[in-house]
Amino acid sequence: MVVEMRTRALGSVGKYYVYRLRYPNNRAVFGVKAGTVFYVGKGKGSRSDEHRAETKSLIRRKAWREMKHKHKVIMDIWQAGHEVIEELVGRSDDEEVALQAEAFQIAMQGIENLTNEK
């Protein structure tokens, strides 16, 4: 599921985009993590989909030691019978603007609350 959101720094068009991945809003299943953002990224093309594709590949190969924290969160969401929520924050043709918006989103969430690698 993709939910679109906007910030002032980003518009609705452009080849670069900033996105957030979050837990589903099911408090009964995910408790205090329900609805919270667990990853912020900047990408172009199908970058935001690659996290799920990587996770599927790791599961298929049973490559548990290669799993990063974000993959484990995605797997846990799937095992609970839900899908990761993807929010598109905005777009820009200027990669520097997108990088700055990504850094802002990470700072707003707090890197310690995210599965992004430091």
Tens digit of pLDDT for each residue in 44-90?
999 999 999 999 999 999 999 999 999 999 999 999 999 999 999 99
% of the chain beyond a pLDDT of 70? 90
Q: Above pLDDT 90, what percent of the chain?
A: 86
Q: How far is Cα 68 from Cα 5, in angstroms, rounded to an integer?
A: 27
Structure tokens at 81: 């019978």
pLDDT of 108 strictly over 70: yes
Burial class of residue 82 (count of CB atoms within 10 Å of its CB; 0-12, 13-18, 19+): middle
The Cα-based distances of 25 to 33, 63, 64, 85, 114 in angstroms read 9, 29, 27, 9, 17
2 vs 61 pLDDT, higher one: 61
Mean pLDDT of 110-116: 97
Sign of CA dihedral 114, 54, 5, 73: negative
Reported as a pLDDT band with limits 50, 70 and 90, residue 10 is: low
pLDDT of residue 13: 75
pLDDT tops 90 at residue 102: yes
